[in-house]
């Protein structure tokens, strides 16, 4: 069991996949918003850390969207697919938005193609 201190609070690290935990990236990011969560999942997307809180069912702040029993499903659908190159629906929505911007002349063809390639992990 590894204990880390971030912004003067102690946290137990349950799993550190690929030794990716970087305390400096988390400093200032775990705000009081996360105080009501039993677990905080962190991952990296597009070079930035993302955090999501989860709870046990007996937590007074429990909501189905934050059910810790569904964390593996969340990882598979929102983290693993992105890291393995599968397009997620949010990526496809962003590409559609970029296409609209391209069509009205707000971005160039080069900007559109570069961002599309990034979103599709090409």
> How far apart (Å, rounded) are the C-alpha atoms in residues 94 and 67?
27
Across residues 101-110, what is the average pLDDT?
A: 85
> How far apart (Å, rounded) are the C-alpha atoms in residues 92 and 97?
9
Across residues 59-87, what is the average pLDDT?
A: 82
pLDDT band (50, 70, 90) for residue 35: very high
The per-residue pLDDT of the chain, averaged, comes to 87
pLDDT band (50, 70, 90) for residue 7: very high
pLDDT band (50, 70, 90) for residue 89: low
CA 119, 89, 16, 61 torsion-angle sign: positive
Query: What pLDDT shows up at residue 46?
Result: 74
Residue 90's nearest CA partner among 100, 79, 101 is 79
Across residues 17-24, what is the average pLDDT?
A: 91
Across residues 57-63, what is the average pLDDT?
A: 96
Tokens of 69: 């029993």
The least confident of 28-32, 58-62, 107-111 is 107-111
């Amino acid at each position: 069991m590894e204990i880390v201190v971030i912004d003067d609070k102690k946290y137990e690290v349950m799993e550190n996949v690929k030794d990716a935990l970087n305390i400096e990236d988390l400093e200032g990011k775990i705000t009081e918003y996360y105080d009501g969560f039993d677990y905080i999942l962190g991952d990296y997307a597009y070079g930035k850390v993302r955090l999501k809180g989860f709870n046990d069912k007996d937590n007074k702040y429990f909501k189905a969207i934050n059910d810790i029993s569904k964390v593996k499903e969340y990882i598979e659908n929102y983290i693993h697919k992105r890291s393995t190159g599968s397009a997620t629906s949010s990526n496809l929505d962003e590409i559609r938005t970029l296409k609209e911007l391209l069509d009205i002349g707000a971005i160039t063809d080069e900007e559109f193609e570069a961002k599309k390639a990034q979103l599709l992990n090409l």
